[in-house]
Amino acid sequence: MPILKNTFRPHRQVGMSVLLFITLLGGLPRVSLAACAFYQSSVDQAMQAKDLETLEELLVTLNMQPDCSVAYLAWFKRRMAQIAATRADSLVQQGELVVAETWLKRAPTIIWVTQVVHGDIAARRRQWQTASRFYNQALDLIADTEVTPQAPAPAVIQKVYQLASEAQVLADNLEVTVSRSGEASGMMRSSMRGFIPVIRIVPIRFKYGKMALSRQGKKSARQLARYLKRRNWASVTLIGHTDSKGSHTVNDRISKRRALAVKKQLRKLGVSFKIRVTGQGKRKPLKLANHAIYTQTEIDALNRRVEFVAK
């Protein structure tokens, strides 16, 4: 598989059901259908019609058949979960969050797309910590070839990665993706089915015009330091950014000082490899995957960021 880097630049809100449809066009791995052959016609018809009620009845029957393999039942449950998640995603786009949750509860197993829709629901409720947890769980499931035999389309992985990044910044911590020992999960993984993040956002938020790390910012820096110290990188470049307010001259200075503040904190925490700093000011606002749901205050918070590139 070719290496795909995070160059995704969404221009408008795209529902996960659309991206899931793109994934399904590529086909899903079908285990041997010799097992449960008597029911396969009914299964195919219900799948084609996205008739979840009939599929739920069939699942009860199939679970009682001795010739239905574990692999077949796992495939069946994943397809049911995809149907439930696609319907739930459509409801989320209409603002019907409670009804969407009832559809997700009907999924007989957890797959990456159910977690993305859960994340979308939390994001619309401005529950950023919860949204971050679900989006990052989706990335972990995508990375697991056993639970996700067929990798999603490249655009889908990029989309989920960006959603996870944005939610994690607004949640203002790395707790979901970096353990106390510095082990990485979710968006902090080194790669996800061929997708290798190049630029990562540091979840340290800055107030307007401010360059010093807050108490929470220092906590996030500690988590980042644990993560960095487990890597064998030669260097890291920290890139500071600002929101759109103010002049280029002022913002260039502020953005570089933000990156420098993160560097100083990482040095205090024992990160010893080379750290470069640079500031982009307001020239490169974040290309948002979920622009339509954010308030201007949230957009400004996302733009007042520090990113890092490792080598």
> For all residues of the chain together, what is the average pLDDT?
88
- d(CA 37, CA 91) in angstroms, rounded, equals 34
**What percentage of the chain carries pLDDT values higher than 90?**
71
Res 25: pLDDT: 39
Query: Do 38 and 102 fall within a single domain?
Result: yes
Res 20: pLDDT: 57
Q: Are strands 4-5 and 199-202 parallel, antiparallel or unpaired?
A: unpaired
Q: pTM for this one?
A: 0.87
pLDDT greater than 80 at residue 88: yes
Identify the DSSP state of 34: S
- d(CA 4, CA 6) in angstroms, rounded, equals 7
* Residue from 170, 165, 261 nearest 210 by CA: 261
Query: Do 16 and 64 fall within a single domain?
Result: yes
Most confident of 65-69, 130-134, 214-218: 130-134
Q: Report CA Rg, the chain.
A: 22
What is the total count of domains within the chain? 2
Q: Is 47 helix (H, G, I), strand (E, B) or coil?
A: helix
Query: Do 120 and 213 fall within a single domain?
Result: no
Query: Do 4 and 141 fall within a single domain?
Result: yes
Range of the domain at 264: 200-311
The string of DSSP codes covering 236-251 is EEEEE---S-S-HHHH
Confidence label for 21 from pLDDT (cuts 50, 70 and 90): very low
Res 226: pLDDT: 92
Res 34: pLDDT: 53
Query: Do 185 and 275 fall within a single domain?
Result: no
Query: Do 3 and 128 fall within a single domain?
Result: yes
Query: Do 295 and 175 fall within a single domain?
Result: no
Query: Do 245 and 300 fall within a single domain?
Result: yes
Query: Do 161 and 221 fall within a single domain?
Result: no
225 residue type, one letter: A
Query: Do 67 and 163 fall within a single domain?
Result: yes
149-166 pLDDT, tens digit per residue, is 999 988 899 999 999 999
283-311 pLDDT, tens digit per residue, is 999 999 988 899 999 999 999 999 999 98
Identify the DSSP state of 178: B
193-212 pLDDT, tens digit per residue, is 999 999 999 888 887 777 88
Contact 264, 215 (CB under 8 A): no
Query: Do 170 and 86 fall within a single domain?
Result: yes
